[in-house]
Chains A and B, each alone.
Chain A
Amino acid sequence: NAGVTQTPKFQVLKTGQSMTLQCAQDMNHEYMSWYRQDPGMGLRLIHYSVGAGITDQGEVPNGYNVSRSTTEDFPLRLLSAAPSQTSVYFCASSYGQGVFYEQYFGPGTRLTVT
């Protein structure tokens, strides 16, 4: 298994540009989520999905959109990038919800917005 994969690894955007961060997992996990990591603030939940076709907001959803058309993929869209979205983004997946399944994290995407 490749586990959780993310592309790209690095990205530089200008303010106002849009882009999609890709996340895929090959473990048949139902639960997927996106976090952003900023210095001294740990990881904060952006959006999550409990299965194909179902998404919900996390702690910091503003400026981001998600969709879940397949079990494997969970892309994160930045509609109009802002410097405040400069961060490292991690995608995670786990087998299910409601019980304490381990979350597996991808390697991250480092995004810089100028």
Chain B
Amino acid sequence: GAGVSQSPSNKVTEKGKDVELRCDPISGHTALYWYRQRLGQGLEFLIYFQGNSAPDKSGLPSDRFSAERTGESVSTLTIQRTQQEDSAVYLCASSAQPFGYGYTFGSGTRLTVV
């Protein structure tokens, strides 16, 4: 597509429920990143996919967080047993190069855990 598409744009969930966030990158972009943006704070790196290589999961905050991507297509970020501190905007970005050039961000999914 023309840009990075994320869905849903907003999600309200009850504490303890699982949620799944989706990112559809720009066609042909081999690199895909997930970031978290808490209210009034900067962007926190979560996970990075590059082609068929093993993902860099070093930013995932706990084992409740996981992400998948098949090849160079859609990625899903799953949060199990959500907690109130998981409330944030989850941003996805894709890039044609793996070294931070030309990132294109989606508009994000605003997750609220009540």
Q: Are A and B bound to each other? A: no
A residues in contact (CB < 8 Å) with B: none
